Amino acid sequence: MPRIISIDCGYRNLATSFGTIDHEKVVIKNSDVTDVLNGKKKKNNHQMVYKVLHHLKELVWNKWGIRENQDELVIICEKQCKGCNIPIGYGIFGLFHALFPRSDFIFMPPKAKFLGSGPTTASNLKQAAVQEVKTMLNHNHNVTLMPQVRRLFISLRKKDDISDTILQIQSFAYQNNYLTLTSGTSEKRENGEPHRGTTGTPGDLTFGSTADRVPDQQEEQLPPMFAARTRPARLEITGN
């Protein structure tokens, strides 16, 4: 039974969801959205990243009690290309490989989370993500949100961050053939053109990677070690 931890980078609205896949069914068991600075002004990136990593460790390791076992564990983090979320993404990568060294880590491009979702013509992907999850609450028989997740989603004024984490789990399930794509899903997007990164072949773990995209001149590209799905070599530190 694959287990997925899904993260949407941020420090004002750091969103995390935990889901499982069993018998062609995705269950979102827990979700969390937190301002790790508690409304205070950010002092520097070092402090910000520390607060994010401390919160994630407490949430995943202590509150949710997730451990490595015989079931597959995958961590998905939305790929960041700009701003202060870049060091957050690097920090999350390191944290989760320290906590779960045998797990797989995926940096998922923002548009790739719509694989498996219904068609949309929305130009605003944040609004589109929220609408997808609202539809999911009542009409998606492949994805179930536990009552506490539903209550959290309904209570939030800003719903796009938690929506991203839920859709990333759904996308992973379709991409790896745990769920079956039906005709017409995730094909038509704005202006009738598919978004880059949303039409990869299910099971292709590198779909939507930087090799498939037209680089944005303002984007800071992640180094090769941060491929779509990666497990780093072990690092040994020796000294006197």
Longest dimension (CA), the chain: 62
* 15 part of a folded domain: yes
In-domain check, residue 153: yes
What is the arithmetic mean of pLDDT over 205-213? 33
Q: Which of 18, 41, 11 is nearest to 165 (CA)?
A: 18
Q: What is the CATH number of the domain that holds 167?
A: 3.30.420.10
Residue 237, in any domain of the structure? no
Q: Is position 184 within any domain? A: yes
pLDDT for position 171: 93
pLDDT band at residue 24, thresholds of 50, 70 and 90?
A: confident
Task: Tell me, yes or no, whether 192 lies in a domain.
Answer: yes
Answering whether pTM is above 0.85, one says: no
- The answer as to whether 238 is a domain residue is no
**Beta bridge mates, 125:** none
Q: Is the pLDDT of residue 133 over 80?
A: yes
Residue 235 inside a domain? The answer is no
Ordered strands of the 104-108 beta sheet: 143-145, 26-34, 14-21, 3-8, 73-78, 104-108, 229-230
Buried b (16+ CB within 10 A) or exposed e, 48-63: bbebbbebbeebbeee
Distances (CA, A) of 79 to 104, 221, 227: 15, 10, 10
Total domains in the fold of the chain: 1
Domain membership flag for residue 236: no
Residue with tokens 């941020």: 10
Burial 159-170 (b: 16+ CB within 10 A, else e): bbbbbbbbbbbb
CB 120 within 8 A of CB 81: no
Q: What is the per-residue pLDDT across 64-99, written as a single tens digit (0 to 9) for each?
A: 999 998 899 999 999 987 788 899 999 999 999 999
Domain interval for residue 57 = 3-230
Continuous segment of H or E residues that includes residue 19:
strand 14-21
User: 3-state SS of the chain: helix, strand, coil percent to 5?
Assistant: 35, 15, 50
Above pLDDT 70, what percent of the chain?
A: 72
